[in-house]
Amino acid sequence: MSSSVAIVRTGVANTASMVAGLRRVGADPQLCEDAETVRTAPYVVLPGVGTFGAGIASLKRMGVDEALKERIQSGLPTLAVCVGHQLLFQQSEESPEAEGLNIIEGSIQGFPPEVTCPQLGWNLVTAPKGARIFESGYAYFANSFRALHADPDWKMATADHGGEFIAGLERGAVVTAQFHPELSGPWGLSFFTRWLEVGRGRSS
């Protein structure tokens, strides 16, 4: 039986590749934009392409920001990708006037001037010790901003571009990815599969 995955329709993400990737691993992805679905869906994906400010404004406009916070704090299976990953933090240099979801303490910062920005292409993700969803391997990134620190209760995967940064975070069935698993070939598909498996006993 396929796993039902609600993808939050943020309006700032190209969701077609996300839908296609999840279907390849046997999931049943559907777009959503209402708080009740975000609260109760077996699995939820928060995608993100665009700016931090536009992303958080879209979540608030739909009224799903508080539902996402409740869901993640409850440990229900949730995947936040790219700007979606960044939105879990408190703020970002990209949109200083915007307040993030404030689930993870810390801010999103730009890359140092000596490296190519945005970072576009493949980079090595190093999995944290004891991770169930992350495995080390190459993922596809498309980002101009990144997080450097997170709360210690998250397992932290890392990558390096002008210094080490957070490639993703894992806490139970909640996982974030600065990279794009849907564009990361077989490695990305296996990442989806492990997330679905870990979340199987935690979905509401």
Domain boundaries, the chain: 4-199
Task: Decide yes or no: CATH 2.60.40.10 for domain 4-199.
Answer: no
70 is catalytic: no
E-strand spans in the chain?
4-8, 28-32, 43-46, 78-81, 91-92, 107-110, 119-125, 137-143, 145-147, 155-160, 164-171, 174-177
182 is catalytic: yes
Catalytic position from the list 33, 94, 161, 180 = 180
Model-wide pTM > 0.85 = yes
pLDDT in tens, 92-102: 999 999 999 99
Is the predicted pLDDT of residue 201 greater than 80, yes or no? no
Is the predicted pLDDT of residue 2 greater than 90, yes or no? no
82 is catalytic: yes
